[in-house]
Structure 1
Amino acid sequence: MDLRKEVTAAKLTDDLVVDILSRLTYKDFCRCKCAYKAWSAFSSDPDYHKKLPKKVTTGLLYQARDKSAIPLVSLSRDDGEIDGILADVPHYEHLEFLDCCNGLVLCKYKSSYTSPGICRFVVCNPATREWRVLPDTFVGTDSYRHTTILAFDPSWSPHFYVFNFSHSLVDKLEMFSSGGSTWLVDDKWDPEITFSWRKPQLFLNGMLCVQIDGQQVLVFEGLETMSYDILPYHYTIDLPFDSSPVNSFTDGCFDKFSGILHYALPDRSGRSIIVWTLDDYAHRLLHWTVKCHLNMEDAFGRKDLVYYDNGGISGASDWFWNCDYRILALDLERELVVLSDNKTMKLISYNISTGELNEIRDGIEEHRYYVPCYSELPAQEPSV
């Protein structure tokens, strides 16, 4: 073969690669992004992402309080509501939706034969109809509170990770990697680090970022070492200084765009959403800068978006900050913000380009933002 005539992806210009990728279906494009990390970055490039395939059923996953079916509320008007997205998961008497991340869904399950204190998890990919059962873990009685988080990014690694924080009499952190076959336990976990199920979280460039109580973000790095039974390391970074004290009363939202961590939160008046970006993260300078303001006053058509409760007996009249809306999801690539309107009890979407609000559905149950992933789950590793 004449090597001078050899053509490889590395020799093609970015413009030509984007032109080729733009001719694929969205499903095939997603598979290509998983195979070659450099192509994944095109989706976040402002010059390229509008040319690439974007037809996808993004949506919101939720589960009613009675722990019934886990439907997907589509954000596309053409698709409507898609029920039974986890229909191919083996039937369990109790299937509880916990989390989703970049197309994978994490659930906890049990049956009438499950021993007390045993916790069982299953990770599913609804787009490919695959599921994987994780090894049992002992978390104590149901009266103990735990927070379980799923971390997955097919453009970074084919493996997924599960973090199970147990807030019991003995605080501990259990971690599972699909590259291994057992849970790793950090029994020296700091019990002062606490957060709720609703706290913002994001998996970015191999780093799990979770907002903890207060003005900080907990970051885990070195997750790939878990396959060798080595615990990842963690540290904290501060949120934007000017996001306080609003984030003491409501949750913000993380997003990754152009490979950079973004954070969105209403301002103190509620009339705009501030989006910050964490610049120079790779060099650990950790400097937040304001990227943009999203005008909620024009979107809602009113100025009175915030009200205050008093602090109890003899308390200050403006002690507790309340906002009419809450941010559920931020997707800068698709120019979309998903909000819950606490005044009308509806889910709504905000179009960043047009500044318009669109009603999605009634009800403001706890939701998780879902974008399908078409890469296959990693094969089950044999137990040692």
Structure 2
Amino acid sequence: MDRHKELTAAKLPDDLVVDILSRLEYKDFCRSKCAYKAWSAFSSDPDYRKKLPNKVTPGLLFQGRNKSAIPLVSLFQQIGEIDGILADVPHYEHLELLDCCNGLVLCKYSSSYTTPGICRFVVCNPATRQWRIIPDTHPKTDDPRYVTILAFDPSWSPQFYIFNFHLEHHHGLIFGTSKLEIFWSESSTWLVDDKWDCDISVSHRPHIFLHGIVYAGTARQEVVVFEGLEEMGDGTLPYHWFIDMPSDSFDVGAFAHGCFGKSSGNLHYALPGEDGRSIVVWTLYEYAYGLWDWIVKCHLSMTDAFGRDDLIYLHRHGDGELYWNCDYWIIALDLEKDLVFLSDHRREKLLSYNISTAALNEIPNPPVRQDVASYKDRT
């Protein structure tokens, strides 16, 4: 787009732009949102959102331990389960769901032609039925283990990024990270960081991509923050730094699952309280340059939601060892829609908790004990 056309488009009134965009097919609308950040922002505006094309059903993507098909469970009961959401992807029968971010889905795949020890990824867009096979990575061992994160935000950039952490492990125990690989979709290449701190283990959850910055939880109750992704075109690796998790979350964070969320441009973190009877939601704020802290935003009563208060308890393992357990995991946090998604391990159900009404509703689906359950937004 030349400079004259850019200036002309920038001068159009918002109402006129929304009227034009509303006439597009959803696939074309997705492409148009990448042209201007202001156009992408219309999707989050409550006055404009209903007028714009919206063909994607919000819901939960999940997959069983047997690496079966990856259906989408709609949040609207009248729609129910949608099968074959990724049916157009090659090697569909061998897909393993890893992550999703703002409408893109990251899977790992294998086939009879896949070389052992090689990790292959594919990124899919269920809305447009498009997919992209990512170049192979080459691990140092024959038994690789990874934590893999997808980062994509069309309001920030039309490109996506994949962070692939190679884990150091022995007899099933994780001892750290051997190296970090980062893929940038525009160059279609992996950059390798061999100087990554081997003592830091990034967790599968929580993580989030916000304002071009990746936030990922670690086993040391810290958040590792990656910035400078826009400089990868020069072959420069993003730099990283750390933020401590909320101090009063350390004990529960060792065995319970928390989750990041975002609203109004702010980063939030949700985790069961020390007795599990409430979920504590914190907001991250910068109180001085480079100095960050967490403030409590709200408490959500789980005693009222579940109708009981024995939600955290000591559990005896098969070998007789006792360890703490929480009956529910936090799968996703969506403060803009006033929703928290939970998995109830006692009843093996997926649940949605409405923050405004304090109502706990069951989401119809197969048993919750899946390898992966990810919230997929409309974006």
Give the TM-score, by structure 1 length.
0.83
Asked if 2 retains the 8 angstrom alpha-carbon contact of 1:225 and 1:231, the reply is: yes
- Classify 1:343/1:10 alpha carbon distance in 2 versus 1 (closer, same or farther; 3 Å): farther
What does the per-residue CA deviation read over 1:17-76, in whole Å, with 9 as the maximum and x for residues that have no partner? 8986997799487666544324555666xxx53763296511111221121211111111
For 2:327, the aligned partner's letter is D
2:183 and 2:287 map into 1 onto residues whose CA distance is: 26
Match of 1:176 among 158, 177, 183: 183
The correspondence of residues 30-179 of structure 1 with structure 2, limited to 5 A, is 33-38=33-38, 40-41=40-41, 49=46, 52-53=49-50, 57-91=57-91, 94-168=94-168, 171-179=178-186
Q: Which moved more, 1:48-57 or 1:101-110?
A: 48-57
Task: Note the C-alpha offset of 1:285.
Answer: 2.9
Query: What is the identity, as a one-letter code, of the residue corresponding to 1:345?
Result: E
Q: Is the 8 A contact 1:21 1:29 kept in 2?
A: no
- Aligned-partner Cα distance in 2 for 1:162–1:32: 23
DSSP-derived class of the 2:253 partner = helix
SS of the aligned residue for 1:108 comes to strand
CA RMSD of aligned residues (A): 3.1
Q: Is 1:326 aligned to residue 329 of structure 2? A: yes
Question: What is the aligned partner in structure 1 of residue 174 from structure 2?
Answer: none
Q: How far apart in 2 are the matches of 1:270 and 1:132?
A: 41
Query: Once the two structures are superposed, what CA deviation does each residue of 1:224-248 show, in whole Å capped at 9, x if it has no partner?
Result: 1122211111111111112221111
| Partner amino acid, structure 1, of 2:249 | S
Cα drift, residue 92 of structure 1: 5.3
1:342 to 327, 337, 345: 345
What residue number does 1:186 align with? 193
Report SS of the residue matched to 2:284: strand
Within the candidate set 355, 368, 374, 1:368 is matched to 374
Cα distance in 2 for partners of 1:246, 1:95 equals 33
Change (3 A) 1:325 1:238: same
| Residues 19 and 126 (structure 1), Cα distance of their counterparts in 2 relative to 1, 3 Å cut | closer
CA distance in 1, matches of 2:107, 2:62: 12
Q: 1:370 to 1:314 in 2, by over 3 A?
A: closer
Q: 2-side partners of 1:135 and 1:7: how far apart?
A: 39
1:353 and 2:356 equivalent?
Answer: yes
> Are 2:234 and 1:228 equivalent residues in the alignment?
yes
Aligned pair in 2 of structure 1 residues 264, 337: CA closer, same or farther (>3 Å)?
same
Letter of the 1:335 counterpart: D
Match of 1:263 in 2: 269
Correspondence for 1:380: none
Distance 1:265 1:162 in 2: 26
Change (3 A) 1:18 1:78: farther
Give the TM-score normalised by structure 2.
Answer: 0.84
Q: Distance in 2 between matches of 1:206 and 1:52?
A: 23
Distance 1:76 1:248, change over 3 A: same
> In 1, Cα distance between the equivalents of 2:185 and 2:21?
32
Aligned match of 2:3:
none
Say which is worse superposed, 284-293 or 166-175, in terms of deviation.
166-175
> CA distance change for structure 1 residues 8 and 301 in 2, over 3 Å: closer, same or farther?
same
Structure 1 residues 114 and 277: alpha-carbon distance in aligned structure 2, compared to 1, 3 A threshold: same
CA displacement 1:123-174 (0-9 Å, x = unmatched): 1101011111111221244522111111111111000001111124881111
State the 1:81 CA deviation.
0.2
Q: Does 1:274 align with 2:274?
A: no
- 1:306 pairs, out of 306, 312, 317, with 312
Amino acid at match of 1:184: L
Structure 1 pair 313/138, CA: closer, same or farther in 2 (3 Å)? closer
Query: Contact between 1:216 and 1:239, CA under 8 Å: does it hold in 2?
Result: yes
Contact 1:22 1:51 in 2 (8 A): no
- Matched residues in 1 for 2:165 and 2:183: separation? 12
CA distance in structure 1 between the aligned counterparts of 2:168 and 2:250, rounded to whole angstroms: 30
> Identity percentage over the alignment?
60
Gaps of 5+ in 2: 1-6, 170-176
The code of the aligned residue for 2:137 comes to T
Unaligned runs of at least 5 residues, structure 1: 1-5, 374-384
CA contact (8 A) 2:91 2:109 kept: no
Partner Cα separation in structure 2 for residue 119 and residue 7 of structure 1: 46
- Residue 232 of structure 2 aligns to a residue whose secondary structure is helix
Helix, strand or coil at the partner of 2:195? coil
